[in-house]
Amino acid sequence: MKRLVVIILTLLVLGLLGLYIFDQYWIHRYDSLIAREAGIHHIDPDLVWSIVYEETYFSPWKKGRNGEIGLMQVTPAVVREWAADTATAPLEPRSLADPTTLLSDPERNVQIGCWYLEKAGQDYRDTPGVEARMLAAYNAGPSRAADWNRVPKGAPPLTEQQFIARIDIASTRAYISSILERYHRVKSVKSGSK
């Protein structure tokens, strides 16, 4: 009987260890891609990683209910904007006609997602809590983020928490809060390991 218990416990421990190792592989398999594209677009890779975690848990085949596609849940409209804005976008017209295939490629998805995130944050570069504003623009659109960020002339900029409190779309507020919580946790773990 003792031998059976030992065998069962051993199998259980090995199974849990295997799940942990698979999970670590799964959530870090795009780290170099994220780091490269985030660096090109002057964004903290930990923020991009936290977005991908929230959006799709690193599943490149995921599609959103509003037409979002891939790891960073980029829309076809953003692809067209990216292609028009990026003179170096080496795409055939066929690729633009089929954004689903284009955005299903993790490399292209992260490239376009980081481009859009950088663009979403351009107006907030020197603002405290820039990440919350970038995420708001990324999720709800630049005009909504600008409205939430607006203060009277001469007034100090909103803090991160004041900005988040102004967001009147509950799902966007929850999205931003969840990503920022994960992002800050990742940053604190990394700074604690140095």
> What pLDDT score does 15 carry?
66
The Cα-based distances of 158 to 28, 43, 136, 150 in angstroms read 34, 21, 14, 9
CA distance 18 to 128: 42
pTM recorded for the entire structure = 0.87
Single-letter residue type at 159: T
CATH of span 2-192: 1.10.530.10
Single-letter residue type at 85: D
| Residue that is written with structure tokens 């959530």 in the block | 27
Q: Residue 69 pairs with which residues in a beta bridge?
A: 63, 74
Query: Binning pLDDT at 50, 70 and 90, where does residue 186 land?
Result: very high
8 A C-beta contact, residue 133 and residue 117: no
pLDDT, tens digit (0-9, with 9 covering 90-100), for 12-30: 766 666 676 767 778 899 9
Instruction: Locate 20 and state its tokens.
Output: 């942990």
- Which residues are within 8 A (CB) of 83 and not within 5 positions of it... i.e. 6 or more apart? 89, 91, 96
Count the Cβ atoms, other than its own, within 10 Å of residue 186.
Answer: 17
> What pLDDT score does 141 carry?
94
Query: Binning pLDDT at 50, 70 and 90, where does residue 89 land?
Result: low
What is the average pLDDT score of the chain? 89
> What pLDDT score does 161 carry?
96
